[in-house]
Amino acid sequence: MEKLPKAGVPAITLIIIIVIILAKSAVTIGSGEAGVLYRTFDGGVVTEEPALGEGFHFVAPWNKVIVYEVRQQELFEKMRVLSSNGLEIQIDASVWYKPVTAELGRLHQEKGQNYLERIIQPAIRSAARSVVGQYTPEQLYSSKRDAIQEEIYAETKKIVEPQYVQLNEVLVRDVTLPATIKDAIERKLNQEQESLEYEFRLVTASKEAERQIIEAKGKADANRILSASLTDKILQDKGIEATIKLSESNNSKVVVIGSGDSGLPLILGNN
């Protein structure tokens, strides 16, 4: 094997060094990511400049780039908290969050890449304890589930947003009560429902009775007014009108045989 020329060894060494420098200087930021630049000999973490965006970047080989995911992420939490009367409640919640890209350098400098454990988890747990502790198990089981979701979101947001984290949503997926408490609440709710149905039936029956009384009273008043208005003269006139109509009918045979006690003729007829 032929030896390399003496001038070739330094050239090859230089090429290798250049390749290594280029490899260490080239940084690719993927989709949905951003990079924090750390300058080893110039102040450390860069906080006053924007984070490195997606794509290919050249940095000095002695500097470093710390890559963060800046897309929305989801945290699942199962938390055991106490209600207002001291009973243990399990809350299953999801937290949607993302780092604030414009403040990524400060987030890295002050909290680090494990900001999830340092900021978000303690915040959601603290907020859940604070909010749930204001309600009874009955309220949590029935009418207040949407309310506690909104309140936990608001409380968590107040904690995390000053620390360079954007909170998008908190979703309470399930509220689990002790089995004995849950059964007692369900029995109570069933009894309340039955009571409401019974009261509704009573009110309906009462209104129907009132309607019938008013209707009967109206008919009685009408009959009384009608009876008071039917004098002998009116009855006689009505009888004459009926006699005339009967006599004019083509299908009737009329026989007048005198008069009755009222002075009207007695009429016998058939069809």
227 Cβ contact partners less than 8 Å away, ≥ 6 residues apart: none
pLDDT tens figures, 188-236? 666 566 666 667 777 777 787 787 888 888 777 777 776 666 566 665 6
pLDDT tens figures, 93-136? 999 999 999 999 999 999 999 999 999 999 999 999 999 888 88
pLDDT score, position 254? 54
Between the CA of residue 118 and those of 47, 54, 74, 124, 210, what are the distances in Å? 20, 26, 16, 11, 69
pLDDT score, position 192? 60
Interval 5-14 mean pLDDT:
62
pLDDT score, position 170? 94
Reply yes or no on whether the pLDDT at 184 is more than 80: no
pLDDT score, position 215? 81
In degrees rounded to 5, what are phi and psi of residue 35? -120, 140
pLDDT score, position 235? 59
pLDDT score, position 110? 93
pLDDT score, position 211? 78
Query: What are the residues facing 56 on neighbouring strands?
Result: 28
Check residues 208 and 77 and name the one with the higher pLDDT.
77
CA–CA dist 169, 158 (Å, integer): 13
Find the largest Cα–Cα distance for the chain. 164
Between the CA of residue 103 and those of 59, 107, 161, 163, what are the distances in Å? 20, 6, 11, 9
Interval 51-75 mean pLDDT:
91
pLDDT score, position 8? 61
Check residues 269 and 164 and name the one with the higher pLDDT.
164
pLDDT tens figures, 15-41? 666 666 666 678 889 999 999 999 988
Interval 44-54 mean pLDDT:
90
Per-residue tokens: 96? 């949607």
Instruction: Report percent pLDDT > 90 for the chain.
Output: 34
Query: What are the residues facing 39 on neighbouring strands?
Result: 44
Q: CA 51, 53, 57, 58: dihedral to nearest 10 degrees?
A: -10
DSSP code per residue over the chain: -PPPPTTHHHHHHHHHHHHHHHHHHEEEE-TTEEEEEEETTTTEE--SSPPB-SEEEE--TTSEEEEEE-S-EEEEEEEEEE-TTS-EEEEEEEEEEEE-GGGHHHHHHHT-TTHIIIIIHHHHHHHHHHHHTTS-HHHHHTT-HHHHHHHHHHHHHHHHGGGTEEEEEEEEEEEE--HHHHHHHHHHHHHHHHHHHHHHHHHHHHHHHHHHHHHHHHHHHHHHHHHHH--HHHHHHHHHHHHHHHHT-TT-EEEEEEE-TTSSEEEEEE-
58 Cβ contact partners less than 8 Å away, ≥ 6 residues apart: 25, 26, 27
pLDDT score, position 219? 77
Cα 133 from chain centroid (whole Å): 21
pLDDT tens figures, 235-253? 566 666 766 666 666 665 5
pLDDT score, position 1? 45
**Whole-angstrom Cα Rg for the chain:** 47
Reply yes or no on whether the pLDDT at 256 is more than 60: no
Q: By the 8 A CB rule, do 262 and 254 touch?
A: no
Closest by Cα among 202, 205, 145 to 171: 145
